Amino acid sequence: MDFSLYFDLPLWFRLVLQGTIVILVLFPLAAACSMAERKISAWIQGRPGPNRTIPPFLAWIPGINIIRNLGLFQLAADGGKFTFKEDPVPGNVNKFYFILAPILSMIPALSTISFVPFGAYFTTLADGTKHLVPIMLARTDLGLLAVFAVSSLGVYSLILAGWASNSKYPFLGGVRASAQLISYELSMTLSILPVFLWVNAPGGEGTLSLFDVVQTQSQPGFLGGMWYIFLMPVSAFVFLVALFAETNRQPFDMPESESDLVGGFHTEYGAFKWSLFFVAEYAHMIVGSGIFCLLFLGGWNPLPWVSLGSFINLAAGVLPCVASPLFMGVIGITFFLLKVGFFIFFFMWVRWTLPRFRYDQVMNLGWKKLLPISIANLIFYAVAIAVKDLCFPNL
Amino acid sequence: MSDHPYAFLALFLGVAIAFPLIMLGVAQLWVHFFQAAKPGALKNSTYECGLAATGDSWIQFKAHYYLYAILFLVFDVEILFLLPFAVAFTSLPAGALFAMLAFIFLLAEGLVWAWARGHLAWK
């Protein structure tokens, strides 16, 4: 199968098509997350969760009770409610920033997805060699730096929402959110530096691209096929904790902490403006879990030491059609989404297991524990990688 | 293959702005045609736990947040210098590693200084 026909199409057409596909995957995924959140929280607490809603004219269909019990209709009803209920703007707010904040929250949530590779497929070049091509929207060398640069813009929407509401609870929520986000950004960036030291070690490529990170995890050999979660467990741990803080998930949901700040920065919001914050949070979660899987869990590789390429070669012995680029792309994306799905479940699992931190504990954890740990971790790996290259260049 | 990589960023930026605007517009149209808004003095008042809110919240607040912001700025700029180091690791001589270690120790020293001065203690 050849994709060259596709690449002959005009640029704007491919842009719109690929962009639409990603949005059509991302939005239902975010919606499914919100449903999964309610169901998983219900199961963890030993209650059934939303299971009653059903449009009366559908009730006669046999077997529809399964969908009803899963709460799918509840999800649709919620979506309808957010769009069509009255959307009051409180009298004392700064109207412009009040409306701008939820719109701003969508920008980092949607833009970061264009830097995430989802999978890869083989193309055969003119000289007969096989060449792995990533499935991603914006192929830049910047990769991770671009993700960090865009996603850290998310703090503006939180602080704008908090400030523009002109109410005490949102204000405190907004200020806390911004202090928390900037604190954990440091540990987050420092914790992934060892990964790029390793990727760019002599013989590497000199890149920040997430695709190349996955490529270096799919080499043959013991070290080459090793996922970085085994090679750099401390980095993975610090990154994961910082990811929880950056996405405002429990136990770090200081900006919202409903027991002391009612609803935090979105107390004054309702209807569709509120649901924009909600969608943005889930989109951040999805992209964040995706980045974690790419950096530390081998991206679309099915198992440690088994790369997607060798898996496909193995499977093609049984089913030859698997080797076609289309199948390979779909299989890679499936493995990747499975890992992301597990992490989203993990986010929810932690939310209903750990109690919330107090605010001073959050700041202490960020500045006095994670930051020194990640600096020590960086020094250790910088020295270790240099020593390895000097003494064991063939390892 | 030769797509400009940032074309997608521009596209998603456009979608990210257009999507909320369209949905908010639909909600506004719905309110306009089918369900008139019913504002009221209580409904428009600032949220407070049962009492009337006193005063604005656009006030001076704890300066400690500012200290964290300053510290963040210092560290973030230093980390930005570490990223090119990680990328250029491919071809650097051994001396560069020591230079970089000195730089990281300066970063660590800044943290120790702020810690010793008590700037990291939440008050």
With CA atoms as reference, the chain B residue closest to A383 would be: B97
Domain for residue A112, yes or no?
yes
Amino acid at A395: L
Average pLDDT over all residues of chain A = 80
Yes or no, beta carbons of B58 and A363 under 8 Å apart: no
Give the whole-angstrom CA distance, residue B89 versus residue A201. Answer: 6
pLDDT band at A127 (very low <50, low <70, confident <90, very high): low
- Contact (CB<8Å) A196/B24: no
Using alpha carbons, select from A140, A257, A237 the residue that is nearest to residue A192. Answer: A237
| Chain B contact for A61 (CB, 8 A cutoff) | no
Q: What is the mean pLDDT of residues A198-204?
A: 72
Q: Is the ipTM, as predicted for this complex, more than 0.90? A: no
Give B96 to chain A, closest Cα distance, Å: 11
Q: What is the mean pLDDT of residues A356-366?
A: 84
Contact by Cβ (8 Å): B8, B14: no
Average pLDDT over residues A118-123: 74
Preferred mutation among A24, A258, A371 to probe B, highest tally of B CBs within 10 A: A371
In a domain, A346, yes or no: yes
The pLDDT of residue B90: 67
Greatest Cα pair distance in chain A: 74
Report the alpha-carbon angle B91-B95-B96, nearest 5: 55
Shortest CB distance from A103 goes to which of B21, B75, B88? B21
Whether residues A139 and B82 touch (CB distance < 8 A) is answered with no
Of B1, B15, B79, the CB nearest to A190: B79
Q: Which comes out higher in pLDDT, residue B54 or A165?
A: A165
Burial A143-176 (b: 16+ CB within 10 A, else e): bbbbbbebbbebbbbbbbbbbbbbbbbbbbbbbb
Does the CB of B113 have a partner CB in chain A at under 8 Å? no
**pTM of the complete model:** 0.86
> Is the pLDDT confidence value at A271 over 70?
yes
Binning pLDDT at 50, 70 and 90, where does residue A219 land?
confident
Does A156 score more than 70 pLDDT? Answer: yes
Identify whether A79 is part of a domain.
no
Q: Is A24 helix (H, G, I), strand (E, B) or coil?
A: helix
User: Does the structure show a pLDDT above 80 at A183?
Assistant: yes
In A62-165 the beta strands, taken as DSSP E runs, fall at 119-124, 130-135
Over the stretch B39-90, which tens digit does the pLDDT of each residue have?
777 777 777 777 777 777 777 777 788 888 888 888 888 888 888 877 777 6
Residue given tokens 């030859």 in the structure block = A320
Taking residues A242-268, what's their average pLDDT? 78
**Max Cα separation, chain B?**
73
- Domain-located, residue A140: yes
Asked whether residue B1 carries a pLDDT value surpassing 50, the answer given is no
- Rounded percentage of chain A residues whose pLDDT exceeds 70: 91
- In sequence order, the β-bridge partners of residue A120 are A134
Which chain A positions have a beta carbon within 8 Å of B95's beta carbon?
A: none
φ, ψ for residue A383, nearest 5 deg = -70, -45
Please answer whether residues A347 and A285 qualify as being in contact, where contact means their C-beta atoms are separated by less than 8 angstroms. Answer: yes
User: Residue for token digits 């939005």?
Assistant: A27
Contact A166 B56 (CB under 8 A): yes
Are the C-beta atoms of residues A228 and A296 closer than 8 Å to each other? yes
Which segment of A133-147, A267-281, A360-374, B61-75 scores lowest on mean pLDDT?
A: A133-147
Task: State the nearest Cα–Cα gap between B27 and chain A, in angstroms.
Answer: 6
Residue A246 contacts residue A284 (beta carbons within 8 Å) = yes
Q: What is the pLDDT of residue A4?
A: 59
Q: Which domain holds residue A384?
A: 93-391
Q: What is the pLDDT of residue A395?
A: 60
Confidence of residue B14 (pLDDT cuts 50, 70, 90): confident
CB contact under 8 A, A203 and B90: yes
Region A341-352 average pLDDT: 88
B96 contacts on A by Cβ (under 8 Å): none
Q: Is residue A241 classed exposed, middle or buried when 0-12, 13-18 and 19+ CB atoms within 10 A define those classes?
A: buried
Return d(Cα B40, Cα A178) in angstroms, integer: 33
Do A44 and A352 form a contact (C-beta atoms < 8 A)? yes
pLDDT at B103: 85
Is residue A378 a contact partner of residue A193, using CB atoms and an 8 Å limit?
yes
Per-residue pLDDT of B101-114, as tens digits, reads: 888 888 888 888 88
Q: For position A1, what pLDDT does the model report?
A: 43
How far does B16 lie from chain A, in Å, by closest CA?
A: 5
For residue A372, list chain B residues with Cβ-Cβ distance below 8 A. 108, 111
A261, part of any domain: yes
Number of domains in chain A: 1
Q: SS3 letters for A146-203?
A: HHHHHHCCHHHHHHHHHHHCCCHHHHHHHHHHHHHHHHHHHHHHHHHHHHHHHHCCCC
Q: Which of A29, A131, A17, A15 is nearest to A336 (CA)?
A: A29
**pLDDT tens, residue by residue, A55-100:** 878 777 777 888 888 878 888 888 888 877 777 778 778 888 888 8
Give the minimum alpha-carbon distance from B84 to chain A in angstroms, rounded to a whole number: 9
Nearest to A86 among B24, B31, B83 (CB): B31
Cβ–Cβ below 8 Å for A186 and B38: no
CA A329, A331, A334, A336 dihedral sign is: negative
Q: Residue B36 — very low, low, confident or very high, per pLDDT cuts 50/70/90?
A: confident
**Among the partner residues A111, A268, A386, nearest to B16 by beta-carbon distance:** A111
* pLDDT at residue A218, rounded to an integer: 77
d(CA A366, CA A359): 11
Q: What is the mean pLDDT of residues A353-368?
A: 84
Quick check: A168 and B107 CB within 8 A? Answer: no
Set of chain B residues whose Cβ sits within 8 Å of the Cβ of A378? 82, 104
A100 part of a folded domain? yes
Contact between A277 and A102 under an 8 Å Cβ cutoff? The reply is yes
Asked whether residue A6 is assigned to any structural domain, the reply reads no
Q: Is A370 in contact with A184 (CB distance < 8 Å)?
A: yes
A33: how many CB neighbours lie within 10 A of its CB?
Answer: 23
Hey, which residues 10-39 in chain B have their CB within 8 Å of chain A? 11-13, 15-17, 19-21, 23-24, 26-28, 30-31, 35, 37-39
Distance from CA of B116 to the nearest CA of A (A): 11
Residue A319 DSSP code: -
How many other CB atoms are found less than 10 A from the CB of residue A89? 16
